[in-house]
Amino acid sequence: MKPTYGGVSRYGAIAMASSLDQIGPVSRTVLDSALLHEVIGGHDPHDSTSLTDPVGALVEAARLGQVEGMRIGVIRELQGEGYQAGVLTRFSESLELLRSAGAEIVEVSCPNFQYALGAYYLIMPSEASSNLAKYDGVRFGLRVVPDGAPTIERVMGATRAAGFGDEVKRRIILGTYALSAGYYDAYYGSAQKVRTLIQRDFAAAFEQADVLISPTAPTTAFKLGEKLDDPLAMYLNDVATIPANMAGIPGLSLPGGLADEDGLPVGIQLLAPARQDARLYRVGAVLESLLEDTWGGPLLAQAPAIPGSAGGK
């Protein structure tokens, strides 16, 4: 569960991208997420982005689990070309289950979502570059002292070279470039304009639907390390989840069954307007129950064992 931006305090968390980061529950059931969300949510004066709104009756919504009369919008741009056949099959089945429970399924269009991935991978590295500048080997955290005359510049270089992994270094370099003089408006500034367009797309979509739905990712999980040599291909797996972070709205992902091709879990994503997190628990609990009836038990127990792991499935 990713709550509305500001719905859970980020005080104490190490920031990557301050305008995108959010803390939320990861649990085995929708109800468990609601129970934890009610505990960790709410206003925190230590966090300047914390909302003053009450958390809301999230547990009650999860226990109610009723979708009759609700409009559930299928996002046209988050399906079709580039999506694995097994993912689309499980997604279509989830839509039919919700329809059978009394929900009205409508199609909505968010045309600016096609620019979300590019905008996100300008905003996120830019903010990460700024936030991670504090890890310089001087004030706190790791410190690597090189041989010879350890000037502050050499200590900083050695510390950051040793302490950051390849992906983090890649994001810092991208972000530093995007924020550099002469490029700020062309890259970071333009990405923020795209962000506004995405927020407008969501606003228009929520005029037609109470909750939006899409696959969580275009494919099932790829193998560990499989895409390290092609980071752009790896980033494409974020295409469905990035718009919610760009707009600051809440999102919930739950298992939707196993893909026929590889037997791996498919994710189903639900999105709601900002401050309407309870809608996700209400719809998510219904879908979870319907899917478990279809698959004969909790979906997390259906997934294949990880090689070398101990115990059950």
The pLDDT of 232-239, averaged and rounded, is 86
In a domain, 6, yes or no: no
Is 166 inside any structural domain?
yes
Is 308 contained in some domain? no
Q: What does DSSP assign to residue 136?
A: S
Share of the chain above pLDDT 90, in %: 79
Closest CA to 118 of 65, 188, 49, 66: 188
Q: What is the pLDDT of residues 124-141, one digit of tens each?
A: 999 999 999 989 998 888
For residue 285, which amino acid is it?
Answer: A
Q: Which residue has the tokens 């927020």?
A: 199
CA quadruple 90, 210, 7, 188: dihedral positive or negative? positive
User: Span 203-223, mean pLDDT?
Assistant: 96
Q: In angstroms, rounded to a whole number, what is the distance separating the alpha carbons of residues 17 and 14?
A: 10
CA-to-CA distance for 152 and 67, rounded, in angstroms? 60
pLDDT at 256 over 70: yes
Please give the average per-residue pLDDT across 219-245, as a whole number: 88
Whether residue 312 is contained in a domain is answered as no
The reported pTM is: 0.90
Q: Please give the backbone phi and psi of residue 175, each rounded to the nearest 5 degrees, phi first.
A: -65, -40
Q: Is residue 147 part of a domain?
A: yes
| Residue-wise pLDDT tens digits, 257-281 | 999 999 999 999 999 999 999 999 9
Q: In what order do the strands lie in the sheet with 104-108?
A: 104-108, 71-75, 211-215, 265-271, 251-258
Per-residue pLDDT tens digits for 64-73: 988 999 999 9
The tens digit of pLDDT for each residue in 137-185 reads 988 889 999 988 889 999 999 999 999 999 899 999 999 999 988 888 8
Rg (CA), the chain: 21
User: What pLDDT is stored for residue 304 in this prediction?
Assistant: 61
Number of domains composing the chain: 1
> Domain range holding 210?
30-301
User: Whose structure tokens read 């960790």?
Assistant: 40
The pLDDT mean for the chain works out to 92
Per-residue model confidence as pLDDT tens digits over 11-50: 999 889 999 999 999 999 999 999 999 999 999 999 999 9
Cα distances (Å, whole numbers) of residue 35 to 38, 81, 85: 6, 37, 35
Q: Does residue 91 register a pLDDT over 50?
A: yes
Residue in this structure with the two tokens 């590889």, named with its chain if needed: 262
Q: How many helices (H) and strands (E) does the chain have?
A: 10, 5
Q: Supply the CATH number for residue 293's domain.
A: 3.90.1300.10
Tell me, rounded to whole angstroms, the distance of Cα 189 from its chain centroid.
Answer: 23
The verdict on residue 123 lying in a domain is: yes
pLDDT score of 309 more than 50? no
In a domain, 13, yes or no: no
- pLDDT for residue 71: 98
d(CA 273, CA 210) in angstroms, rounded, equals: 8
List the Cα angle 26/287/251 in 5-degree steps. 45
Domain presence at residue 130: yes
